[in-house]
Structure 1
Amino acid sequence: MPQHLVRTAAPWHVRPHHPPQRRSAAEPAHPAVSRRVAHRPTGRRPRAGTGRPPPAAAETRDGHDEGRHRPSDRSPLIPIGHLTISPDPTTHREILHHLDGFIHDSKKTLDAWDTYSDEHTDLDGWPHDDHSYGLRQSQRDADTAKAFETIHAGARHLLATAETQLAHLPAHTVQNRWGYQLGVLHTALDHLDALHEEWLRTREGLPADARPGTPAFDDALAKHHAESWSYLDDWATHGHVIVDINAAARQAPSLLAPPPTVTAVPAPGRTTSVRR
């Protein structure tokens, strides 16, 4: 990394704030899956006198606890290539529960970040203090990545189950947007897995003394979190479709369900002999 981009305990980049433009969960179905490529900051001329790298284009925000963030050594995303998720219904319910928790936590993170940004930026969306704002933004990215850890290993299981359920649902119970949203989640997960592999390679290439708490490690991890965040936000925005499809599947009549048991009722006026 060039020397002019390395800053002690500072985030990888600072972005101007604008009100979040999150995609609506009811976005109409589209024949093509999300075409967005892995997020890379776009060039923009910095304000005079900042002495910092160019801010990137504005994007949806998240945030959580205020203060200095010191990333841990553990990777923010769990490798899943070797992991087999059991199709057991109990396991599926447990992963769904974790998905609910991620969606809830990420919403709190986004709300907290929006409040902070509104209070610490000017009318054009530029932060009053680049350094503090950047640390807070890096905290947002890291908090969202940490929340996703609980479901990353089971994310493909959730998608595969939802697709199977969707294919067997009665047509009148299906929302047109569900197929589109599953496609967005698939694409986002593909990018997250690719970025995770890239992070592992980056970490292996760091100097031997680059440990958590050193600028070399923290800046590299902050960059990884920033690149992953928009795809994590896709899961925060559209992840509930998996819960919706599961609820619809539980309410739909199953073709494998046994027919109801019919108990014969004696005709009126007839007596039944009892052997003594």
Structure 2
Amino acid sequence: MTISLEAGSPAHRLRLRQLALYLRHSRQILAAWNLYSSRHSDPVTGRPHDEDTYGRRQQKRDSDTLSAFSRIYYHADELVHAADQQLAQLSGSDRTRHYSWQVRELDDAAGRLHAVLVALNQDRPGPGTKEYEEALAEGYADAWPYLHQWTSHGQALFAINALAERSTAASPTTVVAQPAPTTATAVRRCRP
């Protein structure tokens, strides 16, 4: 895949806004799931009261999260690449090393998610059959951990971008020295 996204470009800012939408949406989906799960599971054992309904609700969580991720799916590699570029320009610190780890996690999750979706589209039986629905549910379940990685670590891309922008703004710029004032000019400036 050709990476054409330049860090700090208008396209990069657009992709970050799309990522922000995904993060907000996926966190809402996860919060709704956590609420549902806590209300429909035994508090001691954690087992669902109705496993069929619970499983369908879990499948909805997975499919909704995958649907939310679709706005950045085709640009996930570019976002990771731009963050790598930005990290390379920052001085090394514990914070940048932590962000570097998160970027690697996002890169790994994007690759694994791609593999899951390719397998899902290749091995799936025809629509309208029970086998189709089961394969779809299994594909959603397989994708969920990688989507959750993006939900957990996606915020790091914003932090990296902010650090890179601050670093760029704080970097010394070339100052063109003004010629020394003539004696007459210096005298005029000293007069009250």
For Structure 1 versus Structure 2, the TM-score category normalised by the shorter chain is 0.7 to 0.9
What secondary structure sits across from 2:52 in the alignment? helix
Kept after mapping to 2: 8 A contact 1:170/1:252: no
Name which structure has the greater RCO, CA cutoff 8 Å, separation 6+.
1
After TM superposition, the structure 1 = structure 2 runs for residues 1-276 of structure 1, keeping only pairs within 5 Å, are 85-87=4-6, 89-122=9-42, 123-171=44-92, 174-203=95-124, 206=125, 210-211=126-127, 213-253=128-168, 258-260=173-175, 266-269=185-188
Output the aligned Cα RMSD: 2.4
Gaps of 5+ in 2: none
Mapped to 2, the partners of 1:194 and 1:172 lie a distance apart of: 33
**Aligned-residue offset at 1:85:** 4.3
**Hey, what's the Cα distance between the residues in 1 that align with 2:88 and 2:14?**
23
Paired letter, 2:135: A
Name the TM-score, length of structure 1 as normaliser. Answer: 0.60
Letter in 2 for 1:190: G
What are structure 1's unaligned runs of at least 5 residues? 1-80, 271-276
CA contact (8 A) 1:173 1:248 kept: no
What SS is found at the alignment partner of 2:186?
Answer: coil
CA distance in 2, matches of 1:261, 1:201: 61
Structure-2 separation of matches of 1:260 and 1:173:
32
Q: Provide closer, same or farther for how the CA distance between residues 86 and 252 of structure 1 changes in structure 2, counting only shifts above 3 A.
A: closer
What is the identity, as a one-letter code, of the residue corresponding to 1:112? A
The alpha carbon displacement at 1:183 in A equals 1.3
Secondary structure of residue in 2 paired with 1:128: coil
The runs of 4+ residues in structure 1 deviating greater than 6 Å are: 254-257
Note the alpha carbon deviations across 1:52-104, whole angstroms, 9 max, x for none: xxxxxxxxxxxxxxxxxxxxxxxxxxxxx5x7644381111000001111111
Mapped to 1, the partners of 2:11 and 2:58 lie a distance apart of 34
More helix by share: 2
Distance 2:97 2:4 in 1: 28
* Number of residue pairs aligned between Structure 1 and Structure 2: 183
Partners in 1 of 2:28 and 2:67 — Cα distance?
Answer: 14
